[in-house]
Homo-oligomer: A and B are copies of this chain.
């Protein structure tokens, strides 16, 4: 038995397919809402609901006024980032994905960047990582700020690979972990250990030593999982 999707969903699908198939090009103007409601034989509000669906996916943008209308949007990596992060975060929080599983995926993906990053990282990437390491060592830093700095550090490592596709994919894996990481309360000792590992990674990156990066990332993953388990077992008591 076939379901009967909304008219607005059907319209959105028709236009989306036209965009994906290349039938419509970037910055091309869609017919006006009035014309679309004629073509699809539905009312204007229904057309608008369909267009809002596409707008929510960043596939179109709209502009008011004469020679305004809806235009096919160039989907930029910049636009896609927040969407990717939101989706990944919700996937983790709504599906009872264990901390271990998420952590394993994150560091496996990050290790995939090690070789490329060691070849291509610029002084800029190194400087960012060093700066974040310094920040992470400062006393009085809240756990949230520490996590945010941690994300920035790893992001620099990933961006060092100089591959926007990798950066995009990793954004989801790395940033989506942040809410999970925020469960962890970092002691002075655990922060010290993490900073130590980060320093090792930065050194290895500076020396273009991919093996050392991968090894240290592995240690970091194991240590992170260990911290999380301590929190969980402490909570059970």
Contact = CB atoms under 8 A, between A and B. Distances in A.
Interface in A104-119: 104-106, 108-109, 111-113, 115-116
A92 B105 CA distance: 23
A87 interface: yes
Nearest to A48: B49
A164 interface: yes
A160 interface: no
A93 B57 contact: no
Interface stretch (A34-42, A77-85, A128-136, A143-151): A77-85
Contact of A55 (B53, B76, B105, B166): B53
Interface in A205-228: none
A169 interface: yes
A107 B95 CA distance: 27
A65 interface: no
Contacts of A75: 87, 90-91, 94-95
Contacts of A115: 108
A26 interface: yes
A195 interface: no
A80 to B, nearest CB: 6
A56 interface: yes
Contacts of A49: 48-49, 52
A91 B95 contact: no
A16 B89 CA distance: 13
Given A55-B53, A57-B57, A163 B101 contact: yes
